[in-house]
């Protein structure tokens, strides 16, 4: 028990007012060291309420939670790594809606709050939409990485709009250099980095409703708006002057190797668009904030679509209702539940009430500022699509597109694969 996290909390806040303590079971995908961190957070809840929380993590959580629910032995709460499975379980009647005050709290206290309510809302067996999931711990994808020293030496400024980003891209070419490193290689998963590009660009060229329709296939893959977003990706990836190694190298360059061109002497590229995890593949000893840094993958000034952010995240949902489990969900609204993990690193949150000083480093703090600046948040679209599409034809289609195939033809092929699943 980390008593230090309770300092300054009013004594009345430590008393739940319950006549008796209850045991709450929680299952999720977090293993060590994440499991130890969430247990430390639960320690604070236990101290405040007298309830006991038992967490079990599993690397086969997605399969086990379905088995447990079908057997009638589900835990009180489950931590879902993506909304798709939670939506499936809600449709089968295995989830209990969160209390209305949770929904209102999320709207008011999370940046882009309605987005988080939408992502956690699914249809029940009768087809009625309910709010089932509260997001906790978020990943950020809408980032561009660069080497500050290279920008400084060349006199380049950080672009704040997509128009400025494209102008910078052209300026770097005019200066005889290469603006981008892009790699789609990932073994059997080759092509997935391009899906993130397309998703980010769709959010920057169309309203969020178009994105939602596309992800659910209410709007077909070969719709002109989707084809245009693919072609926007092509603006960056299919121009030999814009990409290290030329456009032909995009599909064959491993995504783990592609950012290394930022650090070559002389630099092979100046920018690399990739999610918050990519520093794990930077050269050993690279210090983020000094040797490398990031900026928000910007929106178009002339589109008036705000500041959309693409990412992923985990959500808590009720799989075996109890009043104590509802209390635990309410506790997750407390900034302290977020700040404990913030202080350990590897944690971002849309909670507007947290103390940014609690972040472990400036990197996390800076990424969270981007998250809090979002007007719209959307989950990685390919992860929400059927596996044969989001982790199949979408990946291979993007490889074909970067290889020179027409965007409309690629999009039709992906839609055909989706239709074949029906």
Residue 248 burial (CB < 10 Å; 0-12/13-18/19+)?
A: middle
**pLDDT of 21:** 83
**294 and 323 belong to one structural domain:** no
Q: Does some domain include residue 13?
A: yes
99 plus 9 within the same structural domain: yes
Chain-centre distance of CA 137, in angstroms?
9
| Residue numbers of the domain that contains 327 | 3-131+309-374
Residues 6+ apart with CB under 8 A from 321: 76, 96
Q: How many CB atoms lie within 10 A of CB 151?
A: 17
Residue 137 maps to a domain: no
**CA distance linking residue 297 with residue 227, whole number of Å:** 20
State residue 82's pLDDT score: 87
Q: What residues are paired with 140 via a beta bridge? A: 311
Q: Which residue, 338, 354, 374, sits at the end of a domain?
A: 374
Same domain? For 229 and 268 the reply is yes
pLDDT at 305: 97
In sequence order, the 6+-apart residues with CB closer than 8 A to the CB of 11 are none
Query: What confidence score (pLDDT) does residue 150 get?
Result: 98
Q: How many domains does the chain have?
A: 2
Cα–Cα distance for residue pair 135/150, rounded to 1 Å: 37
Longest distance between any two alpha carbons in the chain, whole Å: 73
Looking at the structure, tell me whether residues 301 and 316 fall in a common domain: no
The secondary structure of 68-136 as a DSSP string is HHHTT---SEEEESSHHHHHHHHHTT--BPPPHHHHHHHHHHBTTHHHHHHHTEEE-TTS-EEE-EEEE
- Predicted TM-score (pTM) of the model is 0.92
φ, ψ for residue 55, nearest 5 deg: -105, 135
Is residue 316 included in any domain, yes or no? Answer: yes
Instruction: Order across the sheet with 272-273: list the strands.
Output: 272-273, 143-146, 293-296
Q: Determine, yes or no, domain membership for 138.
A: no
pLDDT at 10: 32
* Helices and strands per DSSP (H, E), number in the chain: 17, 11
Instruction: Please report the pLDDT score of residue 156 as a whole number.
Output: 98
How distant, in Å, are the alpha carbons of 34, 362, 366 from that of 356? 20, 9, 9
Whether residues 332 and 261 share a domain: the answer is no
Asked if residue 392 and residue 349 are part of one domain, the reply reads no
Q: What is the mean pLDDT of each run of 10 residues along the chain (422 residues)?
A: 36 41 96 97 97 96 96 98 94 98 98 97 98 97 98 98 98 98 96 98 98 97 98 97 97 97 97 96 96 98 97 97 98 98 96 98 97 97 94 97 97 98 84
Task: Give the separation between CA 384 and CA 68, rounded to whole angstroms.
Answer: 23
Residues 218 and 265 in one domain: yes
CATH number of the domain enclosing 165: 3.40.190.10
> Do 123 and 206 reside in the same domain of the chain?
no
Which three-class secondary structure string do you get for 361-381?
CHHHHHHHHHHHCCCEEEECH
Q: Are residues 254 and 185 in the same domain?
A: yes
As a whole number of angstroms, the distance between CA 284 and CA 277 comes to: 15
DSSP bridge partners of 312: 139
Instruction: Output phi, psi for 297, to 5 deg.
Output: -65, 105
Same domain, 322 and 285: no
For residues 88 and 237, state if they share a domain.
no
Q: For position 422, what pLDDT does the model report?
A: 76
Element (H, E) at 229: helix 224-237
């Amino acid at each position: 028990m980390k008593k230090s996290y309770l300092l300054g909390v009013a004594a009345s806040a430590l008393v739940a007012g319950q006549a008796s303590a209850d045991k709450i079971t929680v299952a999720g995908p977090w293993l060590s060291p994440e499991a130890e961190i969430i247990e430390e957070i639960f320690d604070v809840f236990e101290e405040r309420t007298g309830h006991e929380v038992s967490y079990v993590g599993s690397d086969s959580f997605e399969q086990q939670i379905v088995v447990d629910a079908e057997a009638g032995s589900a835990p009180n709460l489950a931590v879902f790594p993506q909304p798709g499975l939670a939506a499936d379980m809600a449709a089968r009647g295995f989830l209990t809606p969160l209390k209305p005050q949770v929904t209102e709290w999320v709207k008011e206290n999370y940046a882009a709050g309605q987005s988080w309510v939408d992502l956690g809302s699914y249809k029940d067996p009768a087809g009625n939409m309910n709010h089932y999931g509260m997001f906790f711990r978020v990943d950020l994808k809408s980032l561009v990485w660069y080497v500050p020293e290279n920008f400084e030496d060349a006199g380049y400024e950080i672009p704040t709009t997509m128009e400025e980003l494209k102008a910078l891209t052209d300026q770097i070419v005019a200066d005889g250099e290469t603006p981008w490193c892009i790699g789609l290689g990932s073994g059997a998963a080759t092509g997935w980095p391009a899906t993130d590009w397309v998703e980010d660009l769709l959010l920057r060229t169309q309203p969020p409703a178009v994105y939602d329709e596309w992800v659910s296939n209410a709007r077909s893959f070969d719709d002109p708006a989707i084809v245009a977003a693919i072609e926007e990706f092509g603006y960056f990836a299919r121009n030999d002057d814009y990409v290290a190694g030329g456009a032909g190298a995009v599909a064959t360059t491993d995504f783990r190797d592609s950012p290394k061109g930022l650090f070559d002497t002389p630099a092979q590229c100046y920018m690399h668009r990739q999610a918050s995890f990519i520093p794990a593949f930077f050269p050993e000893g690279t210090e983020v904030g000094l040797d490398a840094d990031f900026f928000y993958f910007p929106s178009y000034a002339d589109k008036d679509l705000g500041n959309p952010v693409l990412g992923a995240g985990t959500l808590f949902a009720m799989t075996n209702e109890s009043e104590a489990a509802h209390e635990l969900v309410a506790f997750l609204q407390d900034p302290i539940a977020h700040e404990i993990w913030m202080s350990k690193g590897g944690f971002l949150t849309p909670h507007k009430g947290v103390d940014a000083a609690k972040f472990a480093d400036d990197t996390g703090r800076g990424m969270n500022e981007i998250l809090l600046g979002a007007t719209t948040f959307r989950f990685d679209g390919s992860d929400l699509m059927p596996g044969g599409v989001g982790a199949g034809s979408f990946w291979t289609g993007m490889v074909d597109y970067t290889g020179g195939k027409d965007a409309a033809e690629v999009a039709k092929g992906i839609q055909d694969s989706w239709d074949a699943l029906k």
